[in-house]
Amino acid sequence: MKVIWSKFLEIKWGNYSLLALYISVLSGVVVAWQYDPATPFYSVSTIDLLIPFGEYFRSLHFYSSQFFFLFCICHVIATFEQAQQYSRKQWIMLTATLPVTLLILFTGYILRGDSTGFSAGMIAEAILLDLPLIGQPINNLLFSITDNGMKRIYVNHIVGFCLLWGWLAWSHVKKYRVSFNNHIALTISILLFSVFVAAPFEPDHLGVTYISGPWFLVGLQELLRYFSPMVAGVIVPSTLLIAIALLQKRNRYYRCLLIFIGCWLFIYAILTLIGFLR
């Protein structure tokens, strides 16, 4: 176990994250050339079926983004000890990049406009609209699918959330430069992975009885079955984000927070498993 842990710590997860981010942004530009938010489903079908290498670039964009998120999580875990030197403000800003990254992934998922993407968007909108007073303005800012289709989500996906992410992470990432040449194996792995695994796309099947959201939201989808959108969609996820934002060793509730996060993730993993087994 110790060997695995020390091997894990040796991996340069931060470099891996940046590399995956570069690939995600570059492939995202190629996908955006062909994507039209006015006709999302048609657009994505066209990219997959008609545009030369369209399916490949969409897959590359999808999986490099997923890898980016996973590498970021590994990076946070692996560098947690060193990160103790950060001020509270720096730590809060850096950990806030995680939910913003999730928002970018999630909006990309909605932008496909297929049956699961569209339903995920509707659920997100319903959760926000359940928030008293601030729900409507936040929805207008972030999603507004019912009134504006994919227009706002698209702008937020390619500009708004990326600017927010950049603002939160800039003081950290500006210190690092990662070149493709130093990570040829990882670069080739991501490029090749997308050749063999297509990005998901699910047309509307009339008889379908179960659709699940993106893997990181399957637990939340399960929770929405039992609790109100306010509890399952806002309060429960917020508690995790707040706990992570406060998780520094100098915090006197550090141990309690650690136990809370562990329990939260454990329960969420069980809910996710239940969701996948449906």
Partner 1 sequence: MQKKPRVLELSKTLTAGGFHTGPDYILFDNGTEAWALSRKCTHLGCTINYHEKDDLLECPCHQSRFSTKGLVLQGPAEKTLVRYKVEKLKDGGGYIVTI
Q: Could you list the residues that contact partner 1 (CB under 8 A)?
A: 115, 118-119, 122-123, 125-127, 147, 204, 206-211, 221, 224-226, 229
Q: Residue 245 CB, nearest distance to partner 1 (Å)?
A: 27
> Sign of the C-alpha dihedral, residues 80, 180, 62, 193?
negative
| Alpha-carbon span 111 to 40, nearest angstrom | 6
Of 70 and 211, the one with the shorter C-beta distance to partner 1 is: 211
Alpha-carbon torsion angle 116, 122, 126, 129, nearest 10 = 140
Give whichever of 44 and 244 is closer to partner 1, judged by the CB atom.
Answer: 44
- Give, to the nearest 10 degrees, the angle between helix 54-78 and helix 13-34: 150
How many Å apart are CA 28 and CA 56, to the nearest integer?
Answer: 12
CB of 206 to partner 1, least distance (A): 5
Please say which residue, 55 or 114, places its beta carbon nearer to partner 1. Answer: 114
- Nearer to partner 1 among residue 141 and residue 192 (C-beta): 141
d(CA 108, CA 169): 20
Shortest separation between residue 117's beta carbon and partner 1, angstroms: 11
- The values of phi and psi at residue 211, to 5°, are -125, 145
Q: Which is nearer to partner 1, 55 or 125 (CB)?
A: 125
Q: Tell me the closest approach of the beta carbon of residue 53 to partner 1, in angstroms.
A: 30
In whole angstroms, the minimum distance from the beta carbon of 48 to partner 1 comes to 20
b/e string for 213-237 if b means 16 or more Cβ within 10 A? Answer: bbebbbbbbbbbeeeebeebbbebb
Residue 45: CB minimum distance to partner 1, A: 15
Q: In the complex with partner 1, which residue's Cβ is closer, 119 or 251?
A: 119
Distance, CA of 193 to CA of 250 (rounded, Å) = 41
Residue number, 38 or 184, with CB nearest to partner 1? 38
Rounded to the nearest whole angstrom, what is the least distance from the CB of residue 208 to partner 1 in the complex?
5
For 101, residues 6+ apart whose C-beta sits below 8 A from its C-beta are 68, 69, 72, 165
Q: Which residues fall within 8 angstroms of residue 47, CB to CB, at 6 or more apart?
A: 31, 34, 35, 54, 55, 57, 58
Rounded CA separation 244/258 (Å): 9
